[in-house]
């Protein structure tokens, strides 16, 4: 059973990825399964408490970015958004070479603004509690720099430039690295990486989880 804190579905302030069918089935289990039932309920409560405290902590950080705009205490009806430039100044983001695209991916209004919900979603996905398949989904969006739903040669070149610094590798070296990545990941041979190609590559890169992670 999947039991983990999962960042957020839209519109939810807390999300726990539990197979609901299995939870419902607990009540039909024989007595010797009571231990399992206790484990699930206890862990759900722990996850719920942890996520509530994380949400409060993140709201405090969001408020601190613009105390004159963001109320001190969370108000669900408030339609408040902060510009991405302001959020990109956070030390945790500033050091990340992909922070600009990361912010754009999570900006719901696509007008370079971020609501608290967007902010919460972003840091939830980047937390170490998020399952790999969900991280992979958002990582693909981040690395798809031209937003054509594929990671193509030009996306890989941008990615390498950000990772190594624009002048670190020669043009030939960049081409060689991109070619090797494409050769390894492009399973259907169409010259670009689909999400399926990308996800398959991720499963063979055990350190991926740590790279798509920001602790705030």
From 21-29, 41-49, 114-122, 136-144, give the range in contact with Mg ion by CB under 5 A.
136-144
- Quote the tokens at residue 138: 């958002």
Residue 118 or 144: the one with the smaller Cβ distance to Mg ion is 144
What mask of x and - would describe binding to Mg ion in positions 138 to 167, judged by CB under 5 A? ------x-x-x-x-x--x------------
The β-bridge partners of 81 are: 115
Residue 133 vs residues 64, 129, 192, 202, 212: alpha-carbon distances, Å: 32, 12, 20, 9, 12
Shortest spacing between CB 8 and Mg ion, in angstroms: 25
CB atoms within 10 A of CB 82: 18
Helix, strand, or coil here: 4? Answer: strand
Residue 42 or 147: the one with the smaller Cβ distance to Mg ion is 147
Residue 118 or 155: the one with the smaller Cβ distance to Mg ion is 155
* DSSP state at residue 28: G
Residue 123 or 150: the one with the smaller Cβ distance to Mg ion is 150
What mask of x and - would describe binding to Mg ion in positions 41 to 80, judged by CB under 5 A? ----------------------------------------
From 6-14, 40-48, 70-78, 137-145, give the range in contact with Mg ion by CB under 5 A.
137-145
Residue 103 or 193: the one with the smaller Cβ distance to Mg ion is 193
Residue 12 vs residues 86, 161, 186: alpha-carbon distances, Å: 25, 36, 36
Sequence-separated (6 or more) residues with CB below 8 Å from residue 216: 58, 61, 90, 92, 123, 126
Which residues of the shown chain bind Mg ion in the complex (CB under 5 A)?
144, 146, 148, 150, 152, 155
């Amino acid at each position: 059973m999947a039991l983990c804190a999962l960042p957020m579905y839209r519109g939810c302030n807390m999300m726990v990825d539990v197979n609901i069918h299995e939870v419902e089935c607990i009540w039909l289990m024989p007595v010797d399964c009571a231990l399992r039932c206790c484990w699930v309920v206890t862990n759900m409560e722990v996850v719920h408490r942890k996520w509530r405290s994380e949400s409060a902590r993140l709201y405090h950080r969001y408020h601190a970015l613009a105390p004159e705009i963001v109320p001190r205490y969370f108000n669900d009806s408030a339609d408040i958004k902060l510009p991405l430039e302001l959020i990109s100044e956070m030390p945790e983001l500033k050091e990340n070479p992909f922070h600009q695209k990361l912010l754009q991916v999570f900006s719901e209004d696509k007008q370079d603004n971020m609501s608290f919900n967007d902010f919460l979603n972003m840091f939830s996905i980047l937390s170490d509690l998020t399952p790999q398949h969900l991280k992979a989904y958002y990582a693909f969006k981040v690395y798809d720099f031209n937003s054509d739903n594929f990671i193509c040669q030009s996306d890989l070149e941008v990615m390498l430039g950000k990772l190594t610094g624009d002048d670190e590798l020669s043009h030939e070296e960049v081409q060689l690295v991109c070619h090797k990545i494409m050769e390894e990941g492009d399973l259907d041979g169409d010259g670009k990486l689909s999400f399926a190609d990308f996800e398959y590559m991720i499963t063979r890169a055990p350190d991926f989880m740590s790279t798509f992670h920001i602790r705030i």
